[in-house]
Amino acid sequence: MENWQAWRKQQRERLIADRMAVPEMLHRQWSNAISDALQREFTALQTMKIGLYWPFRGEYDPRVAIRYFWESGATLALPEVIDRHKPLSFREWWPDAPMKTGAYNIPVPQGTHCVEPEVLIIPMVGFDQKGFRLGYGSGYFDRTLAAYSTCPLTIGVAFEIQRLENVHPQQHDIAMQYIITEAGVFKWVGRVESDRD
């Protein structure tokens, strides 16, 4: 296909619609399976600075895992859009932290300390067999990862219905080191180079 942008837009729309159509009980079951895998397979996160996210448009709901890691001693942070062309800023979060409505009407911590995460748990609209992620198209996470001098551990989270054969990664795309779905944990050793189309 010549126009990867158009293809990605089409896939994005389809995958978001599919995800939002998942029945509530099944969504909860899949989210719990991902949370269980995070807690079981990534015990080191209990003492780390973790950048997470607030669920949006049918994404995996990380709030069970968020509370677990917070109770275990981790420092948690949620992303805030400061400028649409700049990296995300992560602000410390804890239960009952003061919140405000941020970009896209997503809650963000209000006035808490900025944190540089050692681990990022990243939502995905789609993903492929090489660990590349299809996001919403704004490039926030790609810019954020590129801005760090030491790249944090990246864990992409999604449901199996969001798996694609190939997301046709572009030069700026960065592969996840791990992807977790309700089916399990998938690991990519090191960074995978994107296809240079």
Q: Which domains does the chain have, with CATH numbers?
A: 4-187 (3.40.50.10420)
In tens, the pLDDT along 21-38 reads 999 999 999 999 999 999
Return the structure tokens found at 72: 């275990």
User: In this model, does residue 1 exceed pLDDT 70?
Assistant: no
pLDDT band at 195 (very low <50, low <70, confident <90, very high): very low
CA distance 33 to 79: 24
High-pLDDT (> 90) share of the chain, % = 73
- State the chain's mean pLDDT as an integer: 90
User: In this model, does residue 193 exceed pLDDT 90?
Assistant: no
Angle of helix 63-71 relative to helix 24-41, nearest 10 degrees, comes to: 30
Q: CA Rg, the chain, in Å?
A: 16
What Å distances lie between residue 97 and 54, 110, 111, 144, 192, CA to CA?
13, 8, 10, 24, 37
The position carrying tokens 């551990």 is 153
Q: In this predicted structure, what is the pLDDT of residue 191? A: 45
Q: Span 73-100, mean pLDDT?
A: 93
DSSP 95: T
pTM: 0.91
Q: How many CB atoms lie within 10 A of CB 29?
A: 12
Contacts of 182 (CB under 8 A, 6+ apart): 29, 30, 33, 34, 159, 160
Q: Span 62-89, mean pLDDT?
A: 92
Q: In this predicted structure, what is the pLDDT of residue 172? A: 79
In tens, the pLDDT along 94-120 reads 999 999 999 889 999 999 999 999 999
Question: Taking phi first (over 0 means left), then psi (-120 to 50 degrees means alpha), and beta for anything else, what does residue 58 get?
Answer: left
Phi/psi at 47 (nearest 5 deg)?
-120, 15
CA distance 56 to 61: 8
User: In this model, does residue 189 exceed pLDDT 70?
Assistant: no
The position carrying tokens 């700049």 is 86
